[in-house]
């Protein structure tokens, strides 16, 4: 992979360079203004750690834009080293659900000039949503119009043509048309929903296309999230002067992964030690161990006691491997050399983002080495006593229940071939079904061959819910599974539905409440939870929990309810009778669902320790 350039999207990943880790206090400068006094990855690790930054117009809020323009452009605002590229795009994923982009081409050209980018990607619209053919043609027309403006104006940035498509042939077709317009710099977009096989076929087709065109200057891949894709991109390097990609995956895994969130150049992924609350005795023990003033056995004993109290003993094999190998002591990056063991403590922005910066450093070094980039999670092999102990009240409740209700949310992933769905919709001049429930009859007529029961339609995280229901049913329980669907409202898992693209994620509270009221969600939920169930299990992310309204308040007062929810939802609630498991993200939510499933099929599994 030598020669591939790594571009990091700008999402305000900033830390306090002078953070006091012992007293856990920010510096005065950082408190005055993190943009001016905070540190970004290149401030801590130098100008070799990445090759550039991607800044998206739709991700820049008004106040931040004022600061950028006031600083004389994004490069000055970011204090970006001169050798790093600055790429601008419109952030099409942010407006994917709109019928048209929220900008004009002349506005985008003006934005790029004022931001001071080196490369500007043309105004695009992701064809996976809405009417694919219209969006592909719109993306092409915008590129043609912007090229004319660029050629006739005195712009200091290089214009990159956005290439969008549904099928591989679409990408090649539009790349060829844009090449004939005059473009020699291209940005390949809309890849986030694509599987590895599709991207491999796409890269092969693009490689074949550019093989006979020696004047293609640059090909950039927007939003690469999977490591397995990256080696494929290097195929283009023999025929293109420069190939780059943007990705924040290595950075964000530092705090989004449950395990394997500290990477090393030898391909190992260690697990950072989660220290929650005011457990400063644990933090002190870890620092003493780092200084050699405490033995491995002593620090493990301290961790075991702490993890038993907070119900996280299952992490101990991972932590023991980390502490045994002390990988932060062997790392050459400035962060590990400066903050020591704090880089592998999972606690707050200033530790977690530093660990993310370190991961990017490791990834870039491997990228430059040309080696295969693979990481294996590390833990000790022996089992930890105490993870599975005597059965508790919650486990007993699950096993004694005769009637069970499970309520969860719809998933983005649908078990259909989207290419076939999109082709059929395009032939009828229709967009992908979304919140437009008023067109349900029309869509059902067109897409009848793709309709399935909800339990079969939803993929991704819904598999964990299916497994939980199966575990209950194997014990002879009656189980009703309901889904809060962004398109339909409340539906049974048996209800036959269309493939659609709609989500409550990202909506503000007022929009969620209006949506819930329009579909009568709260009333239906109140009727449902009022039925004589022995156990009611709710597993929802923030927006879908908000949509439940008063029904959730009622559940919090029911002692037969098991609620897997973000802490935000219950912060102002008093006298909770329900059994609550706090899950801030999908990873934690899945973990608890899987533990409920395991408790039904095993003996001696403790669940009470996971409760709030």
Please report the pLDDT score of residue 384 as a whole number.
Answer: 40
Q: What is the DSSP string of 306-363?
A: HHHHHT-GGGHHHHHHHHHH-GGGT--SHHHHHHGGGGGEE-SHHHHHHHHHHHHHHH
Mean pLDDT of 393-399: 81
Please give the pLDDT value at position 392: 62
Distances in Å between the Cα of 364 and the Cα atoms of 8, 89, 104, 260, 339 are: 11, 23, 36, 18, 21
Query: Which tens digits make up the pLDDT trace of 57-79?
Result: 998 988 899 999 999 999 999 99
CA distances from residue 117 to 32, 49, 64, 140, 316 in whole angstroms, order as listed? 28, 20, 16, 22, 47
Comparing CA positions, the residue from 204, 202, 207, 160 lying closest to residue 181 is 160
Q: Give the whole-angstrom CA distance, residue 64 versus residue 349.
A: 20
What confidence score (pLDDT) does residue 313 get?
Answer: 84
Q: Which fold has domain 393-610?
A: Rossmann fold (3.40.50)
For residue 312, the model assigns a pLDDT of: 81
- The reply to whether the predicted model has a pTM over 0.85 is no
Dist CA 571 CA 214 (whole Å): 60
CA distance 188 to 215: 17
Query: What pLDDT digit, counting tens, does each position of 302-357 carry?
Result: 999 999 888 788 889 999 999 999 999 999 999 999 999 999 999 999 999 999 99
Per cent of the chain over pLDDT 70 is 95
| Helix, coil or strand: residue 150 | helix
Q: Using alpha carbons, select from 367, 363, 288 the residue that is nearest to residue 333.
A: 363
pLDDT of residue 130: 75
Per-residue pLDDT at 205 exceeds 60: yes
pLDDT at position 1: 47
Q: List, for residues 492-517, the tens digit of each pLDDT value.
A: 999 999 999 999 988 889 999 999 99
pLDDT at position 602 is 64
Query: What pLDDT score does 314 carry?
Result: 82
pLDDT at residue 52, rounded to an integer:
97
Q: Cβ distance 79 to 40 under 8 Å?
A: yes
| Least confident range of 397-401, 404-408, 546-550, 606-610 | 606-610
**Span of 219-223, 386-390, 494-498, 524-528 with lowest mean pLDDT:** 386-390
Banded pLDDT at 583 (limits 50, 70, 90): confident
Query: Which of these, 174, 184, 175, 189, lies nearest to 222 by C-alpha position?
Result: 189
Query: Does 606 or 308 have the greater pLDDT score?
Result: 308
- pLDDT of 456 reads 94
| Residues 350-388: tens digit of each pLDDT | 999 999 999 999 999 998 887 778 889 998 875 443 333
395 pLDDT exceeds 90? no
Task: State the Cα–Cα distance between residues 506 and 517, nearest whole angstrom.
Answer: 18
CA distance 298 to 146: 65
| Residue 10 and residue 78 in contact, taking contact as beta carbons nearer than 8 Å | yes
pLDDT for the residue 609 = 54
pLDDT in tens, 250-275: 999 999 888 899 999 999 999 999 99
Q: Considering only residues 475 and 140, tell me which one the structure prediction assigns the higher pLDDT.
A: 140
**Tokens 């439940």 appear where?**
548
- Model confidence at 582, in pLDDT bands (50, 70, 90)? confident
In this predicted structure, the answer to whether residue 85 has a pLDDT above a threshold of 50 is: yes
Locate the domains of the chain by residue range: 51-247, 255-353+364-377, 393-610
Superfamily of domain 51-247: Queuine tRNA-ribosyltransferase-like (3.20.20.105)
Q: Output the average pLDDT for the chain.
A: 90
């Amino acid at each position: 992979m030598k020669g591939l350039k790594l571009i990091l999207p700008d999402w305000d990943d900033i830390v306090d360079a002078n953070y006091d880790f012992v007293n856990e206090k920010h510096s005065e400068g950082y408190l005055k203004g993190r943009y001016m006094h905070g540190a970004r990855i290149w401030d801590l690790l130098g100008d070799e750690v990445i090759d550039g930054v991607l800044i998206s117009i739709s991700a820049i809020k008004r106040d931040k834009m004022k600061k950028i323009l006031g600083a004389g452009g994004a490069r000055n605002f970011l204090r970006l080293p001169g050798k790093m590229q600055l790429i601008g795009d419109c952030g099409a994923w942010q407006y994917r659900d709109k019928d048209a982009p929220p900008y004009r081409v002349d506005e985008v050209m003006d934005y790029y000039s004022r931001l001071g980018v080196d490369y500007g990607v043309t105004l695009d619209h992701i064809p996976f949503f809405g009417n694919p053919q219209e969006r592909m043609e719109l993306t092409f027309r915008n590129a043609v119009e912007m090229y004319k403006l660029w050629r006739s104006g005195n712009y200091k940035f290089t214009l990159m043509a956005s290439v969008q498509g549904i099928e591989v042939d679409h990408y090649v077709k539009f790349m060829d048309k844009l090449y004939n317009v005059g473009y020699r710099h291209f940005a390949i977009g809309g890849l986030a929903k694509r599987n590895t096989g599709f991207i491999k076929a796409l890269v092969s087709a693009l490689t074949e296309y550019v093989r006979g065109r020696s004047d293609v200057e640059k090909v950039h891949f927007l939003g690469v999230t999977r490591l397995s894709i990256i080696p494929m991109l290097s195929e283009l390097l023999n025929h293109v002067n420069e190939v780059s990609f943007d990705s924040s995956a290595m950075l964000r895994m530092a705090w989004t992964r449950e395990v394997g969130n500290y990477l090393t150049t030898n391909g190992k992924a260690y697990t950072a030690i989660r220290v929650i609350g005011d457990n400063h005795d644990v933090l002190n023990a870890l620092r003493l161990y780092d200084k050699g003033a405490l033995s491995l056995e002593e620090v493990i004993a301290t961790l075991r006691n702490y993890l038993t109290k907070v119900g996280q003993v299952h992490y101990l094999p991972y932590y023991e491997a980390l502490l045994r190998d002390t990988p932060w002591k062997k790392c050459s990056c400035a962060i590990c050399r400066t903050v020591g063991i704090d880089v592998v403590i999972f606690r707050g922005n200033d530790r977690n983002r530093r660990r993310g910066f370190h991961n990017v450093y490791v990834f870039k070094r491997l990228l430059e080495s040309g080696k295969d980039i693979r990481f294996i999670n590390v833990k000790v092999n022996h089992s930890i006593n105490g993870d599975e102990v005597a059965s508790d009240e919650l486990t007993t409740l699950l096993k004694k229940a005769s009637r069970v209700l499970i309520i969860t949310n719809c998933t983005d992933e649908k078990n259909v071939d989207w290419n076939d769905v999109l082709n059929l919709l395009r032939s009828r001049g229709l967009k992908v079904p979304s919140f437009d429930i008023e067109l349900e009859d029309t869509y059902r007529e067109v897409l009848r061959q793709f309709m399935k029961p909800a339990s079969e339609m939803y993929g991704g995280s819904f598999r964990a819910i299916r497994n939980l229901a199966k575990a209950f049913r194997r014990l002879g329980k009656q189980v009703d599974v309901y889904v809060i669907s962004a398109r339909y409202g409340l539906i049974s898992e048996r209800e036959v539905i269309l493939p659609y693209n709609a989500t409550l994620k990202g909506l503000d509270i007022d929009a969620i409440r209006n949506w819930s009221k329009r579909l009568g969600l709260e009333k239906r939920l109140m009727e449902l939870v009022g039925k004589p169930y022995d156990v009611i299990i709710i597993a929802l992310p923030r927006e879908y929990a908000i949509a439940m309204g008063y029904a959730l308040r009622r559940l919090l007062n029911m002692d037969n309810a098991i609620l897997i929810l973000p802490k935000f939802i219950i912060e102002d609630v008093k006298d909770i009778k329900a059994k609550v498991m706090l899950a801030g993200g999908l990873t934690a939510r899945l973990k608890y669902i899987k533990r409920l499933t395991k408790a039904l099929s095993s003996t001696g599994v403790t669940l009470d320790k996971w409760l709030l």
